[in-house]
Amino acid sequence: MGELSSIPVVLNRLGVEAAHERIKLHIHHTPVLTSRTLSDLASTPQPVEALVGTPYDGKRPAQPRIRLFFKCENYQKIGAFKSRGAFHALSRLAPEQLAKGVITHSSGNHAQALALAAHTHGIKAYIVMPTISTPSKIAATKGYGAEVIFSGSTSQEREAVVEDVIKRTGATLVPPYDHPNIILGQGTMAVELEQQVQELVKDDISLSVHGESDGHLNSHAPTNGSMLLGEASAGHLDAVIAPLGGGGMLSGIATAFYGTGTRVYGAEPSFEGADDGRRGLEAQERITTVKTLTIADGLRTPVGKINWTVISDKCRVQGVFAVSEEQILSAMKLVIERMKVFVEPSAVVGLAVCLYDEGFRTIVEEEGGKEGWDVGIIFSGGNTTLEAISKMFATGDKRAERAEAKVGKDEERVAENVGG
């Protein structure tokens, strides 16, 4: 198969910064928003009844103090963060590789991101998509000029088609998440987030939990890699929570923030075993298969091999938390109604952790003390529709099934893996 890179790539902060220089002209510098309402909700103890049946049943609810900063990748090109990795991957290809085009297998945002990046570079893109892919995703991918080639829905079927196309065309495979150049590209959002939070707090120090005690903006370097984990100062994020699917984004963010003093956490849905990252960390072994119909359809994929080496490093990712479908919907409703921001379910798992995961909230209370934490939340994308949202919020036992699941032969429900 055509390889994305034969040159060893080191995953470090300098690599992320170099990636940002390469792609910044091709991507949107997405905004960072704040919400006093959601920060206040995150700082309010959960009702006692919400903890019934959990490990915290009978205990006093945590009383964390949290200020939230939202990195809005739903405003990124193609409506999701995936453009960053795709543009960086193509920027690293040799001219002879670009001349033969690129290929991937994806029915998700990576398909559109690679199609856009290829179109921008004036090269051919071959996208292998399962026949069960939604018509809107097929149309969007074709709209960027890609040649869509259909396959079966299993990974083996898709990979077989990819191999055939590579043999025929010599195209280079650009994977959705499991490659260092993808990881470094996705990590560029962390560089922006860090700088944007500093600028916001410089203009309004009350946005930070540390503003009242500091009275000044931290002029030391959260960007110089010298701060210790847990050092707190206005303008410096105490933690960042990112959605975890294949792990390209989380491992990229963890790479960017390593050594800055900012803790990094992952967030997953728990429905039907979608929390493979959390379970893998508990078992100290990567889980290789995921079959789930979680409404967070962008996270229906196992963590990649390379990404696992980052995510399983406790020094880089401090933990992974999982939230229920109901908690995801609740967080999504708050974002749409209170912030007036249009997001997909996968985008709000980090906020759901802040609001509803008592384990995380206890950590903030214990480690943040009376001051609390400034927390960055990644809104990973906004690629959903009003029709899909209405189905998600419909009542009934089969609500989760109606959200982005497909009907296969014999009327069985088929989980469409759109994590790429």
- Residue 233's pLDDT is 80
Measured CA to CA, the distance from residue 71 to residue 281 in angstroms comes to: 26
What does the CA dihedral 296, 297, 299, 305 come to, rounded to 10 degrees?
Answer: 170
Q: For 134-143, which contacts have Cβ atoms below 8 Å and span 24 or more sequence positions?
A: 134/107, 134/404, 134/416, 136/385, 137/107, 137/108, 137/111, 137/112, 137/418, 140/78, 140/112, 141/111, 141/112, 141/115
Average pLDDT of the residues in 260-269: 97
Average pLDDT of the residues in 180-193: 98
Which band of pLDDT confidence, cut at 50, 70 and 90, is reported for residue 347?
Answer: very high
Measured CA to CA, the distance from residue 345 to residue 409 in angstroms comes to: 27
Which band of pLDDT confidence, cut at 50, 70 and 90, is reported for residue 158?
Answer: confident
Q: Which helix (H) or strand (E) holds 135?
A: helix 135-143
CB atoms within 10 A of CB 371: 16
- Of 296, 226, 298, 291, residue with least CA distance to 262: 226
- Residue 3's pLDDT is 60
Judge contact between 288 and 301, C-beta under 8 A.
no
Which band of pLDDT confidence, cut at 50, 70 and 90, is reported for residue 394?
Answer: confident
- Residue 306's pLDDT is 96
Q: Which helix (H) or strand (E) holds 323?
A: strand 319-323
Does the annotation count 391 as an active-site position? no
Judge contact between 34 and 67, C-beta under 8 A.
yes
Average pLDDT of the residues in 176-181: 95
- Residue 212's pLDDT is 66
Gyration radius (Cα) of the chain, Å = 21
Is it the case that residue 419 has pLDDT exceeding 60?
no
- Residue 134's pLDDT is 74
CA 239 to the chain's CA centroid: 15
* Better-predicted residue by pLDDT, 407 or 203: 203
Does the annotation count 106 as an active-site position? no
Measured CA to CA, the distance from residue 84 to residue 69 in angstroms comes to: 20
Which band of pLDDT confidence, cut at 50, 70 and 90, is reported for residue 247?
Answer: very high
- Residue 221's pLDDT is 39
Is it the case that residue 258 has pLDDT exceeding 50?
yes
- Residue 155's pLDDT is 74
> 191-195, 286-290, 320-324, 326-330: lowest mean pLDDT where?
286-290
CA angle 26, 27, 32 (to 5 degrees): 160
Q: What tokens were used for 262? A: 């900012």
Spatial strand order of the sheet with 125-130 comes to: 147-151, 125-130, 102-105, 172-173
Is it the case that residue 268 has pLDDT exceeding 80?
yes
Half-sphere exposure of 306 (CA within 13 A, CB side): 19
- Residue in this structure with the two tokens 């120090």, named with its chain if needed: 205
**CB-based burial of residue 167 (10 Å sphere; 0-12 exposed, 13-18 middle, 19+ buried)?**
exposed
- Residue 403's pLDDT is 44
Is it the case that residue 38 has pLDDT exceeding 80?
yes
Which band of pLDDT confidence, cut at 50, 70 and 90, is reported for residue 404?
Answer: very low
Measured CA to CA, the distance from residue 87 to residue 114 in angstroms comes to: 7
- Of 367, 355, 192, residue with least CA distance to 263: 367
- Residue 405's pLDDT is 45
Mean of pLDDT over the chain: 89
Which band of pLDDT confidence, cut at 50, 70 and 90, is reported for residue 407?
Answer: very low
pLDDT tens per residue, range 61-90: 999 999 999 999 999 999 999 999 999 999
Which band of pLDDT confidence, cut at 50, 70 and 90, is reported for residue 315?
Answer: very high
Average pLDDT of the residues in 361-390: 95
Number of helices (H), then strands (E), in the chain: 18, 12
Q: What tokens were used for 362? A: 């206890």
Residue 150 dihedral angles phi and psi, to the nearest 5°: -90, 150
Measured CA to CA, the distance from residue 41 to residue 23 in angstroms comes to: 36
Taken as a whole, the chain contains a residue count of: 420
Strands (E), 106-204: 125-130, 147-151, 172-173
405-407 and 413-415 beta bridge pairing: antiparallel
pLDDT tens per residue, range 206-232: 999 998 655 445 444 344 445 666 666
pTM, two decimal places = 0.90
Write down the catalytic residue from 35, 106, 107, 251.
107
Measured CA to CA, the distance from residue 31 to residue 277 in angstroms comes to: 28
Which band of pLDDT confidence, cut at 50, 70 and 90, is reported for residue 2?
Answer: low
- Residue 395's pLDDT is 60
> 158-167, 364-373, 399-408: lowest mean pLDDT where?
399-408
Write down the catalytic residue from 82, 83, 91, 133.
82
